[in-house]
Structure formats: C-alpha cells, structure tokens
Amino acid sequence: MEIPKLLLLWVLAAVALGVSQATLLDHRVLPDQRISSETGTIFVHELERELFQEAFPTGSEDDDALITFQTHLWDHPDLPRWLRYLQRDPRQPGYLYGCPTASEVGTHTIEVLAYNRRTYATVSQRLVITVIPAPGGEPPYQGEFLVGNRNVEELLPEAAREMFLQCSSGVWERRDLQVINITSALDRGGRVPLPIEGRKEGVYVKVGSHSPFSPCLESAVSPQSRFRCSLGQQPLASCYDTFAPHFSIRWCNLSLLQVWPSPTTPGLVWGSGVLEEDGDFQPPTEVPPHDLLPGFLVTLLVPLVVAALLCLLLGHLMCCRREGVQKRDLQTTDIQLVHHTTIHGDTEELRHMAGSRDVIRDVPRPLSTLPMFNVRTGQRINPIPSPRDGARVPLLPQ
C-alpha cells in the first residue's frame, strides 16, 4: 500500500515542476528602450498594447487580450516623484507622463511589466529615460487652464496636445507655446463625476511661453473678473470662442504665473572615480587640533552647578524654614494646649499602669476615670493638675 502512495507523490511533484517551468517559460523580456526628455516640458510615453501583445506566446491568436501594465523604478517599488502612470482599462494603452524639473536631470530606469490576464503570461521591458536641461530654460510666462470636458488620457496623445496648443495660440496671440504639465482635477481635490454620459473629471493643462500674456488673458484674471466669478458670472474676456467646440475652458479657474530663473550656485563636480595613470591617492597625514576643553567644562560643570543649586534650595526649605516649639506654642490657642497636655498625661499614665500591673496588683483607679465634679455636692475637681509651664486655663470654666 505504500508503493502507490509514493508513486502518487512522485507524479504530483513532476506535475508541479512542469507547471512551474511552463510558467517561467511564459515570461519574455523585450530589448531596452531609450528615451530622452527635457526639463520644463511635458513627457508622455505610451505603452502600446500591440508591442507587448506580439511578444506574448499567443499574441497573434488573441487580438483582444486583457493586458495590465505595472511600472516602477528599477530595483525600487515606486516611480520617481515627477512621473505618473495611468491606464483606464485593460483594453486601453497605458501612459507614463510628467514634467521633470532641474533636480531630476540624469538617467531614470523604469521597468514595465505587461501581464496577460487570460494566459497569465508576462512581458517586461526597461525604459531608460534621460532627462536633460532645456536649451532655452523654463518658460517664464505660464498659464494653467482647466478643461472641464476631458479626462487625462484624452489629452495625453500628441494630436490632442497639438490641437490644444493651436487653440491656446489664439488666446495668447503667440506661437512659441509648449505644454509644461498635465494634471487630473482629481489630483487637485476635484470630485469624481457621476456615472452619466458626458461627465468628465477635468484636466489642468499648464502652457508656457517666453512672450508676455495677451490682454485677453490679463483681463480674465483681473479683480473685476474675479468679482464676477464670485457672483457666478463669466469673467471679462473676449476670447472665449477660441477653444470651442473641442475644449470647454472654465475661465474662473484660470491662473497666470511668472517664473523667473533663480541664480544657481555651482555645486560639486564629480569625477569619474578612476585615478589617472601613475597617480597615487594621498590621504591626509595631519589632523588639525581641536580644543576640547570648552566642551569638557560645559559637560561637567553645568550639571554640577545645577545639582549644587538644587541642594541649597532643598536645605533652605528643610532647615531654615522650621517654626520651632516656642513659635508654635505662641500661635496655638490655650484650649488646644490643655487638650494636648491631657491626652499626653493620660497616655503616660496608661503606659505606667501597663508596665507595673504584674508587680503591683492593687493599682489605684486612674485619675482620668474620676468625675470632674461631684454630682451630689456640685464640687468641681480638676482630674489632672496643670503643669508648671503649661497654660493655666481650666478645661471647664469655673
């Protein structure tokens, strides 16, 4: 009975090993793709479904495959802070978009993993993005428009961006325009639209130019226009029709900004890290002396001074602020002193009786138990005479 069980386990292990090898064989790696981008302008890269679909083992047979993309930095879990990823549906392409700044100059390696949700096959590719400084610098005049009838993926294709720039040139009255950044209204705190046909999320499109703003744009952001917007009216501008009917611009959300280049301080120049021929590394042989005495004194003397002050304060409170017996007696009323003396005397008498009860059996009656006055005759008797140095006021008035 044990041999069939061993055969069954061997068959199951072989099947599991075959499935794991088949899963590993379903992974393909595409060649690296190198892309360049400039600072101060929008970067958009479309992840084409056809390119990854052809790399799948069954890509030629399944033309309507559900492909999901995952993107992250090479050997890191997240994307760079200037780069965002969007894929609305598994049947639509994915987009990597963002605007690199001067601090992002360099090379960024992005790993893209395409996952076939029907066959469980995967295809990976590395994108090497090289960010270089813009030759003309960042545009100093920038205007941000809110497009209310579009989503982000509808403005990311190059044709849609070119159409928006053509409409913007009619408002700006300039031709040297470029799209700086594209941001969804949801990322700015906008609300998710209702699932009704024609409702869109809204997109913020930032356009820049090296030429000043047109009078139409300046009038749209004037205080009079802002006041009209607070009343729910359109601002004062004569260029509303330049974007219609393709784009619905919300002019009350228009913002104009002038960005001036800030002076940059020269930083460190990094070398190649390789010594020249016949070059030797010369480490520093002498260390400049450091004066450690001030730090030692501060570390040692400050706690000692604080401890001494605390000791003086505690000693003054405990020793120098005692009232004394005489001062306490002077401030205490006579009736309280009489009560205290009576209690003290009774206690001493009880102690004396307890100590001598084994020696003397005939113990007289304690004075504290005697009546203070005779009920029959009415004579008043003080049970305990007052001490010589005590108060002379009787316990009961005469």
Q: What angle do CA 359, 364, 368 make, to 5 degrees?
A: 125
pTM exceeds 0.75, yes or no: no
Same domain (yes/no): 149, 118: no
Q: How many domains does the chain have?
A: 3
Q: Is the residue at 344 inside a domain? A: yes
Same domain (yes/no): 216, 188: yes
**Is the pLDDT assigned to residue 24 strictly greater than 50?**
no
Same domain (yes/no): 210, 165: yes
Average pLDDT of the chain to the nearest whole number: 80
| Domain that includes residue 83, residue range | 24-132
Q: Is the residue at 264 inside a domain? A: no
Same domain (yes/no): 150, 252: yes
Q: Is the residue at 281 inside a domain? A: no
Q: Is the residue at 314 inside a domain? A: no
* CATH code of the domain in which 93 resides: 2.60.40.10
Q: Which residues contact 252 (CB under 8 A, 6 or more apart)?
A: 229, 234, 235
Same domain (yes/no): 52, 78: yes
Q: pLDDT for 273-318, tens place per residue?
A: 666 666 677 777 777 888 888 888 999 999 999 999 999 999 888 8
Structure tokens at 229: 């917007």
Same domain (yes/no): 247, 145: yes
Q: Is the residue at 302 inside a domain? A: no
What is the model's pLDDT at position 60?
46
Q: Please state whether beta strands 27-29 and 67-73 pair in parallel, antiparallel, or not at all (unpaired).
A: unpaired
What is the model's pLDDT at position 23?
45
Q: pLDDT for 80-138, tens place per residue?
A: 999 999 999 898 999 999 999 888 899 999 999 998 888 888 899 999 999 999 888 88
Q: Is the residue at 372 inside a domain? A: yes
Same domain (yes/no): 74, 179: no
Same domain (yes/no): 162, 244: yes
Alpha helices in the chain (DSSP H): 2-25, 49-55, 152-155, 158-172, 215-220, 223-230, 293-319, 325-331, 334-356
